[in-house]
């Protein structure tokens, strides 16, 4: 005899624990999301606050930009610039680093700055307007130095930012390599060089290209730039010109980066290869050839 299946009816109050569980999970997630949001907002607030605080300090100390504190902190840590030194300041606008450099070198030193943008005068510094990669600007820098070698090069150079991060970062790195190639021959044996770098592809390769020119190459994030996670300073000390490789910094850097991204495998002008492949042309109904 066929027995009808027993359908177990779920009593309505048996669903309550499931409902409570779902509700609790939802509440917990909402609470977690709110805490994460609060945390991120607090982090952002701390960053802005720090930036504002450096800006206020710069204003109070008579510096034109908060960036002045970055050079001050690099100096505090590495003692790069000394009294009487000759310093080249690359990418000097609006003049914060030039102000600090003038203080450090004193009466007997010399500070020559260069930037694409004209800079209001800084007492004790010679500030030129021009592109550091332009031979005419380079000529003017040499004229200002009057044949004297440099003790230190400080470069805070950063090209115009387009917002396309990969491209901006790669342009910035090549520019830094060019600055090294122009300025290294002007640097005294034992001299120092600090430059800003933007984190990303090629940083290790640039450091490797620069390393033979100095006996010490270090990365450093001054407190005043910690809120900008993308920037870091390279501090190179004790120039060793006798160890300089034959190839330029840019050549060595680009070769290494090409290897890294597989660029060397691409043939520039591949030879045409003879092929036995022939295109068959099929006649269509209307008599035209179809490819
Ligand atoms: C972050 S700012 C420098 C701030 C400066 N250290 C200070 O404390 O006032 C970077 C500068 O690099 C300059 N720059 C970018 N490309 C350059 C180039 N090819 N030649 C010279 N200056 C350049 C920009 O015009 C910009 O003013």
Residue 153 lies in a domain: yes
The domain of 186 spans 69-265
Q: Which residue has the higher pLDDT, 272 or 250?
A: 250
Check pocket membership of 134 for ligand 1, CB cut-off 6 A: no
Q: What is the pLDDT of residues 76-122, one digit of tens each?
A: 999 999 999 999 999 999 999 999 999 999 999 999 999 999 999 99
Residue 62 lies in a domain: no
Q: What is the pLDDT of residues 251-283, one digit of tens each?
A: 999 999 999 888 655 454 545 444 444 444 444
Residue 96 lies in a domain: yes
Please report which confidence band the pLDDT of residue 284 belongs to, taking 50, 70 and 90 as the band edges: very low
> Vertex 191, ends 123 and 173: CA angle to 5°?
85
Please report which confidence band the pLDDT of residue 52 belongs to, taking 50, 70 and 90 as the band edges: confident
Catalytic residue from among 25, 188, 196, 259: 196
Residue 14 lies in a domain: no
Backbone φ/ψ region at 262: left (φ over 0), alpha (ψ -120 to 50), beta: left
d(CA 212, CA 107): 33
Determine the distance separating the centroid of ligand 1 and the alpha carbon of 99, expressed in angstroms. Answer: 15
Residue 68 CB contacts under 8 Å (≥ 6 apart), including other chains:
58, 61, 96, 97, 99, 100
Check pocket membership of 92 for ligand 1, CB cut-off 6 A: yes
Residue 104 lies in a domain: yes
pLDDT at 1 over 80: no
The pLDDT, as a whole number, for residue 175 is 98
Give φ, ψ of 112 to 5 degrees.
-115, 125
The pLDDT, as a whole number, for residue 275 is 45
Query: What's the Rg (C-alpha) of the chain?
Result: 31
196 catalytically annotated = yes
Q: 63, 41, 62, 66: which is closest to 52 by C-alpha?
A: 66
Residue 12 lies in a domain: no
Give the torsion sign (CA, 214, 220, 222, 228). Answer: positive
Nearest CA to ligand 1 atom 8: 96
Average pLDDT on 126-133 reads: 98
Q: Which residue has the higher pLDDT, 157 or 39?
A: 157
The pLDDT, as a whole number, for residue 228 is 67
Give percent of the chain with pLDDT exceeding 90: 64
Determine the distance separating the centroid of ligand 1 and the alpha carbon of 121, expressed in angstroms. Answer: 15
Determine the distance separating the centroid of ligand 1 and the alpha carbon of 258, expressed in angstroms. Answer: 27
Determine the distance separating the centroid of ligand 1 and the alpha carbon of 160, expressed in angstroms. Answer: 9
Token output for 253: 């850097």
Mutate to test the pocket of ligand 1, among 66, 93, 104, 172 (most ligand atoms within 8 A of CB): 93
Q: 120, 103, 124, 94: which is closest to 112 by C-alpha?
A: 124
In order of 120, 129, 160, 270, the CA distances from 56 in angstroms are 20, 28, 26, 59
Nearest CA to ligand 1 atom 21: 115
Residue 290 lies in a domain: no
Lowest average pLDDT, out of 27-31, 68-72, 144-148, 172-176, goes to 27-31
Nearest CA to ligand 1 atom 20: 131
Whichever domain contains 109, its CATH number is 3.40.50.150
d(CA 278, CA 181): 52
Residue 51 lies in a domain: no
The pLDDT, as a whole number, for residue 238 is 98
Residue 95 CA: nearest ligand 1 atom is 9
Determine the distance separating the centroid of ligand 1 and the alpha carbon of 115, expressed in angstroms. Answer: 5
pLDDT at 44 over 60: no
Residue 240 CB contacts under 8 Å (≥ 6 apart), including other chains:
189, 212, 213, 214, 215
The pLDDT, as a whole number, for residue 171 is 95
d(CA 119, CA 116): 9
Residue 100 CA: nearest ligand 1 atom is 8
pLDDT at 285 over 90: no
The pLDDT, as a whole number, for residue 55 is 84
Q: What is the pLDDT of residues 165-194, one digit of tens each?
A: 889 999 999 999 999 999 999 999 999 999
Number of domains, the chain: 1
Q: 84, 90, 126, 74: which is closest to 105 by C-alpha?
A: 84
């Amino acid at each position: 005899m066929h027995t009808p299946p027993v359908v177990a009816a779920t009593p309505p109050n048996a669903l309550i624990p499931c409902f409570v569980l779902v509700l609790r999970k939802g509440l917990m997630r909402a609470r977690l999301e709110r805490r994460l949001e609060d945390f991120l907002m607090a982090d952002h607030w701390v960053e802005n606050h720090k930036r504002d605080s450096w800006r206020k300090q710069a204003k109070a100390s008579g510096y034109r930009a908060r960036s002045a504190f970055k050079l001050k902190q690099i100096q505090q840590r590495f003692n790069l610039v000394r009294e009487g030194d000759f310093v080249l300041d690359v990418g000097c606008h609006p003049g914060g680093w030039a102000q600090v450099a003038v203080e450090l070198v004193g009466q007997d030193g010399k500070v020559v700055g260069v930037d694409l943008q004209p800079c209001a005068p800084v007492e004790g510094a010679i500030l030129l307007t021009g592109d550091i990669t332009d031979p005419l600007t380079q000529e003017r820098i040499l004229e200002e130095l009057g044949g004297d070698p440099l003790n230190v090069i400080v470069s805070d150079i950063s090209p115009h930012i387009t917002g396309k991060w990969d491209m901006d970062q790669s342009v910035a790195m090549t520019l830094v390599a060019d600055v090294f190639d122009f300025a290294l021959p002007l640097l005294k044996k034992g001299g120092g060089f600090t430059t800003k770098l933007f984190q990303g592809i090629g940083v290790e390769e640039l450091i490797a290209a620069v390393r033979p020119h100095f006996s010490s190459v270090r990365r450093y994030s001054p407190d005043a730039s910690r809120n900008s996670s993308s920037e870091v300073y390279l501090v190179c000390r004790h120039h060793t010109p006798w160890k300089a490789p034959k190839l330029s910094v840019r050549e060595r850097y680009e070769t290494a980066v090409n290897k890294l991204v597989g660029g060397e495998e691409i043939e520039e002008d591949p030879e045409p290869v003879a092929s036995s492949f022939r295109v068959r042309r099929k006649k269509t109904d209307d008599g035209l050839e179809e490819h």
